[in-house]
Amino acid sequence: MRLVIASCSVDYVGRLTAHLPLATRLLVLKADGSVLVHSDGGSYKPLNWMSPPCRTSVEAPAPTDPEGATEVWRVRAAKSDDELRVVVHEVLHDHSADLGVDPGLVKDGVEAHLQRLLAEHVDTFGRGYRLVRREHMTPIGPVDLLLRDAAGGHVAVEVKRRGEIDGVEQLTRYLDLMNRDPLLAPVRGVFAAQEIKPQARVLATDRGIDCLVVDYVELSGRDDPTARLF
């Protein structure tokens, strides 16, 4: 990771064209090759960037570059003609550090935790539900939960932290195969997530799949309604 604070102007040329006039900015060069241009505002979002795969070269200013330029960074995309061009006038700070291998973000409430909690509290789906098994295998992979409802019918549940169209498509494929099994059919589907995108909900409804928004905090028992003042 290299962090450079510099007075610079930035131009992006390719599928779109964008220009950032001369100002002091933070330039971030990551080990994966990506380059990000940040200002002191705008929260976490960069003003401009180049995603990997790309390569960066440093060149002397061209005669057409503004007076006072000391060097030019050219960041070229590997799979397109896109280019990020940073004209540096003055470097105020330049620091590099090896961050090592990142273990990744461990999130509370990820799909495995949601699946376990829903398996332990199948009444979340309604009265009379019972768990048949977790990770019920189909020819194309396991559906997260297989339940029986109060009437004895099978229910396949796909659990996501964030419910999007891809998850609905995945559950649709599982249901198609499970409903070919005479020992299971008819099987209906439930798409369960902490948040379900409107497009995913529309698609699920169109395919006869029920949607369930899960309150992870309440389900995990950390939200005690009796302890509330309001």
Q: What is the DSSP letter of 79?
A: S
φ and ψ of 176, to 5 deg: -60, -45
- Is 115 in the same domain as 212? yes
Round to whole Å and give the CA distance between 166 and 147. 22
pLDDT in the model for residue 41: 85
pLDDT in the model for residue 106: 52
pLDDT in tens, 146-186: 999 999 999 999 999 899 999 999 999 999 999 999 999 99
pTM for the structure as a whole: 0.53
Number of H helices, E strands in the chain: 4, 12
pLDDT in tens, 119-143: 999 999 999 999 999 999 998 889 9
pLDDT in tens, 68-125: 999 999 999 998 999 999 999 999 999 999 988 776 655 545 778 889 999 999 999 9
How many domains would you assign to the chain? 2
**End-of-domain residue from the set 61, 96, 131:** 96
Q: Which amino acid is at 119?
A: A
**End-of-domain residue from the set 64, 96, 128:** 96
141-148 and 154-163 strand pairing: antiparallel
- Is 63 in the same domain as 150? no
Q: What is the DSSP letter of 17?
A: -
CATH number for the domain spanning 123: value is 3.40.1350.10
Does 106 reside within a domain? Answer: no
pLDDT in the model for residue 100: 84
Does 214 reside within a domain? Answer: yes
Are the C-beta atoms of residues 168 and 202 closer than 8 Å to each other? no
pLDDT in tens, 41-53: 877 889 999 988 9
Expressed as residue numbers, the domain containing 163 is 111-219
Instruction: Give me the sign of the Cα torsion angle 167, 170, 176, 178.
Output: negative
Q: Report residue 223 as tokens.
A: 């939200």
83-96 and 2-13 strand pairing: antiparallel
pLDDT in tens, 174-221: 999 999 999 999 999 999 999 999 999 999 999 999 999 998 878 877
